[in-house]
Structure 1
Amino acid sequence: MSEIVVVYELDQPAAGHAPPAGAPGSPGAPGTAWAPRRVHAAPAAPGRSGAAGPRTLCGKDTFAMDKGRRMSAEEPETPWYPAEHASRVCPDCAAVMET
């Protein structure tokens, strides 16, 4: 595995109540205190560098997850997940990344 993509499992908002992209409180909005339910790792999609494949390393579907940054697996000194979300890392994905 040469590249992984960090993906965020989000809490599901009530139907019709999702904030628009970039709105305060939404993922990626500047200056927000947004936190995902869980942070997962997914292999990059074949032929699409930076795009997550269909499943996380723990087997969850990535379709409804927000894509984070991509990272080369050859950077062992850097954690694969963002430090601010360390407490929300999926333990199953983390176990696969450690092997």
Structure 2
Amino acid sequence: MSDMDLPTPDVPVDTIDPETLKSRIDAGEDVTVLDVRAANDYEEWHIEGETVESINVPYFEFLEDEIDDDVLAQIPDDREIVVLCAKGGSSEYVAAT
């Protein structure tokens, strides 16, 4: 399934551009990143930093009608999460889920 095949949720999603995210990290702000790229892409490169918590859950885990409890347990629910993917479509879908 490509990004173009992702279902379109009816929930608006706030966006953040890479420069703003970098500025927040550089300023020492605590940032939690949910990287929804494939595990091999994540292993090749992902956002790191002293104040960055980086979590990798591939987007296809969110395509089921009911998201597995093990998947949900990996994602903190007490703070803002920045969802990241390669092009934007997958992260927008996951953020709205």
Q: TM-score range by the shorter chain?
A: 0.3 to 0.5
More helix by share: 2
Instruction: State TM-score, norm by structure 1.
Output: 0.32
Instruction: State TM-score, norm by structure 2.
Output: 0.32
More strand by share: 1
